[in-house]
Amino acid sequence: MGSSLKVGAVIITMGNRPDELRALLDSVAQQEGDPVRVVVVGNGSPVPEVPDGVRTVELPENLGIPGGRNVGIEAFGPGGRDVDILLFLDDDGLLAHHDTAELCRRAFAADPELGIISFRIADPETGDTQRRHVPRLRAADPMRSSRVTTFLGGANAVRTQVFADAGVLPDAFFYAHEETDLAWRALDAGWMIDYRSDMVLYHPATAPSRHAVYHRMVARNRVWLARRNLPAPLIPLYLGVWMLLTLLRRPSRPALKAWFGGFREGWATPCGPRRPMKWRTVWRLTRLGRPPVI
């Protein structure tokens, strides 16, 4: 049953990691079962040379991570409907095993409520998984699979029906929290999300703050996320908790200045359509271990 599900993959690139991209494409080509159809999106840059059969789209400007991935989705027809499952993979990642696509087919076929799978990210040198790469509060054991409330943007699989029911990624976010925005909308539409430790993407251990815009984008998009998705009484509670957590982490003065600038920007700029989640979704998030206040 699972073998009948068609799988595609979306990879966005800035064109600056051709060797890593080729290794990733080779790992996708080696997947068991029917071939995975691949689209590589050059996000404001030319796409490096790719193997025959890999489709490419070159964008004239960088649309950000969600914008680039949305272009990749549409390359598989409106809302990705030409396939049943889409893999989203970072261009410097590498599928660790040859059965990942087949495991995805089986998982989605066996569980009609399952909408999104978050893969485990492991360092290729050590095999370690960073705590921040386990999408739940109780992250001490990365080898434990479970239901979760969000997913990892560069290592996941999405049933394309989710896009029809919940919409695609929010383009305007550009970078940070776009996965949680989609996850909350998917959960509100009745879908579930799994973290699977046996589906592994190798990826070098890095700090998210390596991105120059990290602190501003994280704060701005956190505000947008709340304004777009939370019932009104939870918005100040959610943002207050995250402000406190940010201060407790004692960021540098420049980082804190950028964070507060982004926080103000999140209130002063349009966040897109507001569709507050149902209170039963709030309860579902709470039962899954992560109430939408943290």
Residue 190 has a pLDDT of 98
> Which are the contacts of 24, defined by CB distance < 8 A and separation ≥ 6?
11, 89, 90, 91, 92, 93, 94, 95
Q: Which CATH number does 7-202 carry?
A: 3.90.550.10
Residue 1 has a pLDDT of 56
Tell whether pTM > 0.85.
yes
Task: Kindly list the domain boundaries of the chain, sorted by start residue.
Answer: 7-202, 212-288
Residue 209 has a pLDDT of 57
- Rounded average pLDDT over 276-293: 97
Residue 205 has a pLDDT of 83
Q: Which tens digits make up the pLDDT trace of 129-188?
A: 999 999 999 999 999 999 999 999 999 999 999 999 999 999 999 999 999 999 999 999
Give the integer Cα–Cα distance in Å for 215 and 217.
6
- Rounded average pLDDT over 23-28: 98
Residue 210 has a pLDDT of 52
Q: Is the pLDDT of residue 211 over 80?
A: no
Residue whose token pair is 């592994």: 200
Q: Is the pLDDT of residue 56 over 60?
A: yes
CA 78 to chain CA mean position, Å: 19
Q: Is the dihedral of CA 98, 14, 171, 263 positive or negative?
A: positive
